[in-house]
Structures are given as structure tokens and as C-alpha cells.
């Protein structure tokens, strides 16, 4: 189903007051693009794809985390009793937590998702039990390979006050630091491991060995004094720059190819500027493609379910306007704010009709299309 959102009710121009401790993700966001850091770590936008599948994935992770922590500390019979008696309470607590986290997200209709989930709660509990039983109970899992508490694997939270950073470390047993990765190897994984190593060293912890564990291999990493000095300098410089920012316009975007995959491009004006050239180039190739496009709204005709949009100057190869057909039920913008001036469409189907060497852009929307009123 198409998903429509009115971003005008979520855009703010406010003074930045709260500065949280840096995590590796926020540190990396700022280095890559200050604007991305602003959206992710200052405004409170918690991006999630607007799909029910993703929502259940987030919920499953929270439930799994609770069950795993209990599995560490309970005998199997006691755990099974706990599961049977408490699984729905665990799910309810996780559901409340997820809903609170996503309540202010303009891309999530949390009430609709919650209503749908209530119908499927029993199926969800059954699926979680089967998954957990298969991984932790029926198999000799690494998580319970030793009865010694000191040898069990735990995620640990570490925070520093100087510099003000924090992190959740996948695995640390007092000697060995391990970061687990399910995807392919990337250059920034080394720096992430170094960030956690830096946290441990500054907490006066002993670390004899560092490792990144991928699904198909394990990679040992050696850090030295130079690495520690370098990341210390980088972290402190990022914090100085962040503390110098007062308003949202102080955060500069870093535009480029990475913008196409950025989870905040839908709300970032800089992305839509650079995207025009990409769209035009693809249109001239005379191919059907899926992309994101922004159009100025000229007029809205709700009765006839039609939006008249003005094409960007770059696209005005013949016609000045393009007409979008939208079911009147999907005109979901806040009418108290008046007509929106712009429509941003993510994952639109775009192609060009050519007549007499003139290009006529055509746009249609699919089930996974997202539309934002501006």
C-alpha cells in the first residue's frame, strides 16, 4: 500500500541544546555528513522503513535480547517455565518500548501497525519460541558452552566522561574484544573496533586480542599506541565541532553518491538538489527505472483525484507540467496548513515517452512508494 506523510508537521528550526555522549554510530555519522548526524542524533528522527516486516524485526530483536539474558542465568527447565508463563508479558513490554521509540517518526503510523500486530500476537509468540528453541535449547549453543559465569559472553555497556563517549561492546571476556558482523567486510569496521578498544583501554581494562567475527571468517586486528592517539584526536575534534553548532543550518551536508542510500534523504533538501541531474540523465537514456523525485505542486484537485505538478527546469524538455493520479483517500496532508507546495516521491516508477525528439516524463507509484508532502 502507498504510504503518505506530511513532513510540514515535523520540520523544526530550533536551537540545539541537548548534546548526548557520542556512540560510534553518531561519531561516524558526523564524519560522513554533519546533516545526517543532525537528523539522526539531534532531531530525534528514528528512521525505519515503513513496512510491517521491519517493525516485527525490531520487536523480535528486543524480545530476543530479553530471552537471551534470562537464558544466561537460568537452567533449561526454569527457562522453559519462565518462557511459558511470561512470553506475552515480555512481548508487551517490548511492544511498548518500540512504540514509544517510533511514536514521533513521520514514517511510522504506529497506531495502525500496533492494531495489526495485536491480531498476530499469538503467531508472533509461537515463531519467536521456535526460533529461540532452535538456536539456544536444542543445540549446544556457544552462549551456554560453559557453566562459569566469568566465561559467558555478554554485551557490555561502557561510558567515558572524558571524552564523553559510550558504546555497547558485542563481546569482551576480560582479555579478548570481539565485534560480530553479519554482513560483508567494510573498511570502517576496523575503526569501530578501535573505538571500542579505546573505550576499554580508557577504562583501564585489559585487552590482549581484538577480532572482527564475520559469518564466514574471523579477522584479528592489532592496534598500537599510534592508533589510540589518532582516534583520541579524531573523537575530540568531532566533539569540538559538534559543540560549536547551535542551529540546524550549522550542520553542513556532504553530498555525493552516498546520498542515494542515506536513510534521511527524504527530508534533506540537499539530496533533492543533486538528485535532479541523476533523474534527467536517466530520463534521456529512455529506460524505465525506479528512483526518487521531487516536484513542485501547482494545484490539487481532490474531487478528480489529480495533482498538477511543475517539472524542474532541467526536465522541461517539452511540457511544463505533469499530472499525478492519487486516490482522494490518500490526500493525507494537514489541511490546516494549507496546500503543500512540494511532493517528494520515494521509489517512483519513472520513464519517458518520446515524441518528435521531445521527452515526456511519466511517473507512477507502486505498493512500496512513499510520498511526502512538503
Residues in CB range of 266: below 8 A, 6 or more apart: 7, 107, 292, 344, 346, 370, 372
In a domain? residue 283: yes
Q: Give residue 39's pLDDT.
A: 84
Asked if residue 216 has pLDDT above 70, the reply is yes
Q: Are residues 51 and 135 in the same domain?
A: yes
For residues 98 and 163, membership in a common domain is answered with: no
- Co-location of 91 and 130 in the same domain: yes
CA distance 225 to 305: 65
What's the pLDDT score for residue 31?
A: 93
Q: Which of 115, 144, 173 is the last residue of a domain?
A: 144
Q: Are residues 135 and 204 in the same domain?
A: no
- Does some domain include residue 250? no
Question: Does 319 fall in a domain?
Answer: yes
Please give the span between the terminal C-alpha atoms of the chain, in angstroms, as a whole number. Answer: 21
Specify whether 212 is located in the same domain as 165: yes
| pLDDT digit string, tens, across residues 177-193 | 999 886 788 889 999 99
Say whether both 91 and 171 belong to one domain. no
State the Cα angle at 291 between 289 and 294, rounded to 5°.
130
In a domain, 213, yes or no: yes
Of all helices (H) and strands (E), which one includes residue 32? helix 24-32
Question: From CA 115, how far away is CA 54, in angstroms rounded?
Answer: 16
Whether the upstream peptide bond of residue 163 has omega within 30° of 0, thus cis, is yes
Output the domain CATH number for residue 282: 2.40.50
Look up the domain containing 327 and give its range.
Answer: 257-373
Q: Is residue 29 part of a domain?
A: no
Q: Are residues 194 and 211 in the same domain?
A: yes
Identify whether residues 209 and 312 lie together within a single domain. Answer: no
Please answer whether residues 168 and 100 qualify as being in contact, where contact means their C-beta atoms are separated by less than 8 angstroms. no
Do you know the residue count of the chain?
374
Q: How far is CA 65 from the centre of its chain?
A: 19
How far is Cα 19 from Cα 41, in angstroms, rounded to an integer? 9
| Structural domain includes residue 27 | no
Query: Domain boundary residue among 243, 266, 299?
Result: 243
206, part of any domain: yes
What's the distance, CA 62 to chain centroid?
A: 16
DSSP string, 307-326: EEEEPPGGG-SS-SEEEEE-
Identify whether residues 231 and 310 lie together within a single domain: no
Choose the weakest-confidence range: 102-116, 119-133, 328-342.
Answer: 102-116
Average pLDDT value for residue range 120-128: 72
Q: Are residues 71 and 120 in the same domain?
A: yes
Q: How do beta strands 156-161 and 306-310 pair?
A: unpaired
In the listed set 144, 171, 199, which residue is the last one of a domain according to the structure?
Answer: 144
Shared domain for 133 and 171, answered yes or no, is no
Asked if 212 and 104 sit in the same domain, the reply is no
Tell me which of 155 and 363 has the higher pLDDT.
Answer: 363
Distance CA 273, CA 277 (A): 8
| Residue 117 and residue 124 in contact, taking contact as beta carbons nearer than 8 Å | yes
Residues 2, 371: contact at Cβ < 8 Å?
yes
Interval 135-169: pLDDT, tens: 555 444 443 333 333 334 456 889 999 999 999 89
Tell whether 328 is covered by a domain: yes
Give the Cα separation of 360 and 320 in Å (integer): 10
Give CA angle at 177 (172, 183), nearest 5°.
105
Domain count, the chain: 3
Do 297 and 339 contact (CB within 8 A), yes or no? yes
Amino acid at each position: 500500500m502507498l504510504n503518505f506523510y506530511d513532513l510540514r508537521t515535523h520540520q523544526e528550526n530550533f536551537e540545539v541544546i541537548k548534546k548526548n555522549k557520542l556512540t560510534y554510530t553518531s561519531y561516524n555519522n558526523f564524519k560522513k555528513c554533519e546533516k545526517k548526524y543532525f537528523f539522526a542524533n539531534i532531531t530525534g528522527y528514528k528512521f525505519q522503513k515503513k513496512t510491517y516486516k521491519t517493525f516485527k524485526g525490531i520487536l523480535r530483536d528486543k524480545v530476543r535480547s530479553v530471552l537471551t539474558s534470562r537464558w544466561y542465568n537460568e537452567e533449561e527447565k526454569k527457562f522453559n517455565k519462565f518462557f511459558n508463563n511470561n512470553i506475552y508479558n515480555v512481548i508487551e513490554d517490548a511492544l511498548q518500548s518500540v512504540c514509544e521509540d517510533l511514536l514521533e517518526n513521520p514514517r511510522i503510523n504506529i497506531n495502525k501497525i500496533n492494531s495489526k500486530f495485536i491480531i498476530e500476537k499469538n503467531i508472533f509468540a509461537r515463531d519467536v519460541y521456535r526460533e529461540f528453541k532452535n538456536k539456544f535449547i536444542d543445540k549446544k549453543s556457544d552462549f551456554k558452552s560453559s557453566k562459569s559465569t566469568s566465561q559467558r559472553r555478554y554485551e557490555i555497556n561502557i561510558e567515558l566522561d572524558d571524552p564523553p563517549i559510550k558504546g555497547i561492546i558485542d563481546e569482551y571476556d576480560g582479555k579478548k574484544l570481539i565485534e560480530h558482523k553479519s554482513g560483508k567486510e567494510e573498511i570502517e569496521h576496523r575503526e569501530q573496533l578501535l573505538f571500542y578498544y579505546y573505550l576499554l583501554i580508557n577504562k583501564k581494562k585489559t585487552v590482549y586480542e581484538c577480532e572482527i567475527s564475520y559469518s564466514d571468517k574471523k579477522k584479528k586486528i592489532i592496534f598500537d599506541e599510534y592508533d589510540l592517539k589518532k582516534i583520541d584526536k579524531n573523537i575530540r575534534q568531532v566533539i569540538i565541532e559538534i559543540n560549536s553548532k547551535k542551529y540546524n543550518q550549522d550542520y553542513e551536508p556532504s553530498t555525493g553518491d552516498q546520498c542515494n542510500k542515506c536513510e534521511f534523504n527524504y527530508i534533506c533538501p540537499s539530496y533533492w538538489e543533486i538528485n535532479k541531474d541523476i533523474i534527467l540523465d536517466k530520463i534521456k537514456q529512455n529506460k524505465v527505472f525506479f528512483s526518487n523525485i521531487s516536484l513542485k505542486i501547482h494545484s490539487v484537485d481532490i474531487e478528480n483525484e489529480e495533482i498538477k505538478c511543475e517539472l524542474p527546469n532541467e526536465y522541461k524538455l517539452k511540457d511544463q507540467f505533469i499530472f499525478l493520479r492519487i486516490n482522494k483517500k490518500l490526500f493525507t496532508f494537514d489541511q490546516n496548513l494549507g496546500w503543500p507546495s512540494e511532493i517528494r516521491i520515494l521509489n517512483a516508477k519513472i520513464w519517458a515517452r518520446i515524441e518528435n525528439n521531445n521527452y515526456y516524463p511519466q511517473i507512477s507509484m507502486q505498493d512500496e512508494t512513499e510520498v511526502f508532502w512538503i
